Amino acid sequence: MKKFIGRTAELQSLTDLFEQKSVSLAVIKGRRRVGKSRLVVEFAKEKRFLSFTGLAPVEGVTVQTQLNHFGQQLALQLNIPVLTFIDWTNALASLAHYIDDRGTVILFDEISWMGAKDPAFVSKLKAWWDTIMQQKTHVLLVFCSSVSTWIEKNILNSTAFFGRISLTITLEPLSIPNSVRFLKAMGYKGSTFEIYKILSVIGGIPWYLEHIKPNMTADANIKNLCFKKDGLLVLEFERIFHDLFKKRSHDYKIILGTLNTGMKTLAEIQVNLGSDNSSVVRKKLTDLITCNFVSKNYQWSPKTETISKRSLYRICDPYMRFYLKSIEPNRLRIDQGTYENLELAQIPGIDSHIGLQVEQLLLQNRTLLLKAIGVPAGECLFDGPYIQTKTNRTKGCQVDYMLQTRTKNIFVCEFKFKRSELGPEIITEMQDKMARLSVPRGYAAIPVLFHIGGVSESVYDKQFFYRIIDIADLVEM
């Protein structure tokens, strides 16, 4: 098993709960491939641990198939004869029979698959937990599922488990520093620039990081995963959508395609989807947010210091965005092997796309941005990508990342990912942007530059930027 990196806070939360020596229920949710079950396995090391995984609900898989699989897993782990169960009440009661006074961690992984074919599964699970399991003394039961929408609907927001869940963990992608540690633990020795290039495509998703080959350059790895026929990340998009949404995936793909061109309002998404029902579209967006593919960015009024009714949705998952921007439009050529003998840089538009990908990666690491700027989290009123809509009185303006503080400062941040050195033109670009931005009376607008690849001495000499932050430094935070 590969070295485990990060997740310190999550491991501590599970440890604190387990050490209460009670009967507790925890739920871990998060994006597919983010490492939910691996977190539980790491936590349960040196503890009595029983793990059960549901079978993917493909054609031919029935309730009895799931029950048989559960019985086989139980027998294998307890070294007992394989048992046959008639329903989930019978299967769960049998599991409880083997739980004694020793502290035990039980994992139900892909729980949505376990109960997919049995409409009474959640009711049976709740009855088992309330009656049989409450007679035990020291058990931590953990539910995980890649189908986050199922977990939300049937466990977290269900009256069946109201008041019964002791801990909920939403597992985020690994931070930039932990992603770098992960790659280095695998033996990757590329430059920080190359590492950012890799992370801009796959983000901090451990399963994707595991497929980076240490003996290949960033470009070679990206090409191998994303631009080679049957490459892992060429096929991944459809697999994810099949597992999560099945036959309902069409509208979700249209929504992502709409957001692929930039942040959009609910009304704009609704128009592109051809729907006159905003509540249905909002529900689908909520599903994508729950799956950690899309984020809802609340816009705000710097003048009144209040959240606006106008929200913007954007793709927040680096891989999803890269697939839609760079892989899908080239899918026919990829399947034909057109890019087999080309360098990554020869693929049209790839360099500009990578630059925008880095922007998404940085926005996923908000705490690092705040720390680099030097603003305590408690001082932050609002932050995020910001769009000032053009009106009769204001000019249009888009800011990569804007931060408004309680101390009347507005930090206007620009992200630049270029191998070449940035010259004085970056100052002119920022001056124009800040001239367009409507800043309330009494506020100071403060420019900040995030970059990699160097900045010319002439830019430093002008002392225009409050801070010039090399994103290579974020790796050590």
In DSSP notation, 121-139 reads: HHHHHHHHHHHTGGG-SSE
pLDDT tens across 353-395, in order?
998 999 999 999 999 999 999 999 999 999 999 999 899 888 9
Q: Based on the domain organization, do 12 and 48 belong to the same domain? A: yes
Q: Are residues 97 and 213 located together in one domain of the fold?
A: no
CATH number at residue 437: 3.40.1350.10
Which CATH number fits the domain that encloses residue 74?
3.40.50.300
Q: How far is CA 279 from CA 251, 286, 312, in A?
A: 14, 10, 16
How far is residue 45 CA from its own chain's centroid? 26
pLDDT at 286 over 70: yes
Relative orientation angle of helices 232-245 and 218-226, to the nearest 10 degrees: 50
**pLDDT band for position 301 (50/70/90)?**
very high
Tens of pLDDT, residues 257-271 = 999 988 999 999 999
Backbone phi, psi, residue 466, to 5°? -65, -45
Among residues of the chain, what percentage have pLDDT more than 70? 100
Single-letter code of the amino acid located at 179 = S
What is the average pLDDT across 401-427? 95
Mean pLDDT along residues 227-232: 95
Exposure string of 53-77, with b = 16+ CB inside 10 Å and e = fewer, is: bbbebeeebebeebbbbbbebbeee
Q: In sequence order, which residues have a C-beta less than 8 Å from that of residue 133 and are 6 or more positions away?
A: 23, 96, 99, 139, 141
Q: How far apart are CA 275 and CA 285, in angstroms?
A: 13
Flag whether pLDDT at 459 surpasses 80. Answer: yes
Position 311 in a domain: yes
Give this prediction's pTM.
0.93
- State how many domains the chain has: 3
The CA angle 246-250-253, to the nearest 5 degrees, is 105
Query: pLDDT class for 415, splitting at 50, 70, 90?
Result: very high
The reply to whether 1 falls in a domain is no
> Is residue 317, in this structure, part of any structural domain at all?
yes
- 245: pLDDT strictly greater than 90: no
Contacts of residue 100, Cβ cutoff 8 Å, sequence gap at least 6 = none
Closest alpha carbon to 40 in 13, 67, 2: 13
Mean pLDDT in residue range 422-450: 96
Mean per-residue pLDDT over the chain, rounded: 94
Among 110, 143, 171, the domain-final residue is 171
- The tally of CA atoms less than 13 A away on the side-chain side of residue 158 is 18
pLDDT attached to residue 1: 60
CATH code where residue 271 lies: 1.10.10.10
Whole-number Å distance between alpha carbons of 231 and 226: 6
- Cα 243 to Cα 113, 150, 170, 369: the distances in Å are 10, 12, 19, 34
pLDDT at 128 over 80: yes
87: exposed, middle or buried (Cβ count in 10 Å: 0-12, 13-18, 19+): middle
Are 231 and 346 within one domain? yes
Confidence of residue 336 (pLDDT cuts 50, 70, 90): very high
Q: What are phi and psi of 314, to 5 degrees?
A: -145, 155
Q: Are 140 and 15 in a shared domain?
A: yes
Helix then strand then coil, in percent of the chain rounded to 5, is 50, 20, 35
Same domain flag for 76 and 206: no
Domain annotation covers residue 360 = no
143, β-bridge pairs: 27, 108
Write out the residue range of the structural domain in which residue 332 sits: 177-354
Both 186 and 315 in one domain: the answer is yes
In a domain, residue 341? The reply is: yes
Give a yes or no: residue 3 inside a domain.
Answer: no
Q: Is the pLDDT of residue 246 over 80?
A: no
Place of tokens 């769009």: 387
The answer on 244 and 97 residing in a single domain is: no
Residue with tokens 């965005």: 321
Taking 80 as the threshold, does the pLDDT of residue 243 lie above it?
A: no
Q: Is residue 287 part of a domain?
A: yes
Residue 275 sits in the same domain as residue 148: no
What's the token pair of residue 449?
A: 């530059």
- Boundary of a domain, candidates 124, 154, 171: 171
Same-domain pairing of 314 and 221: yes
Looking at the structure, tell me whether residues 182 and 164 fall in a common domain. Answer: no
Confidence of residue 248 (pLDDT cuts 50, 70, 90): confident
Decide if 40 contacts 142 (C-beta within 8 A): yes
Mean pLDDT of 234-253: 85
Q: Do residues 110 and 144 make contact, with C-beta atoms less than 8 angstroms apart?
A: yes
User: Do residues 304 and 382 share a domain?
Assistant: no
- Greater confidence (241 vs 455) lies with 455
- Given 171, 201, 220, the domain boundary residue is 171
Q: For residues 338 and 414, state if they share a domain.
A: no
Q: How do residues 66-113 score in pLDDT, each as one tens digit?
A: 999 999 999 999 999 999 999 999 999 999 999 998 999 999 999 999
Neighbours of 90 (CB within 10 A): 14
3-state secondary structure 8-48: HHHHHHHHHHHCCCCEEEEEEEECCCCCHHHHHHHHCCCCE
41 or 244, higher pLDDT: 41
Question: Tokens 């599922």 appear where?
Answer: 145
| Choice among 97-111, 207-221, 345-359, 426-440 with the minimum mean pLDDT | 345-359
Residue 2 falls inside a structural domain: no
Q: How far is CA 135 from CA 94, 97, 99, 139, 177, in A?
A: 14, 11, 10, 10, 44
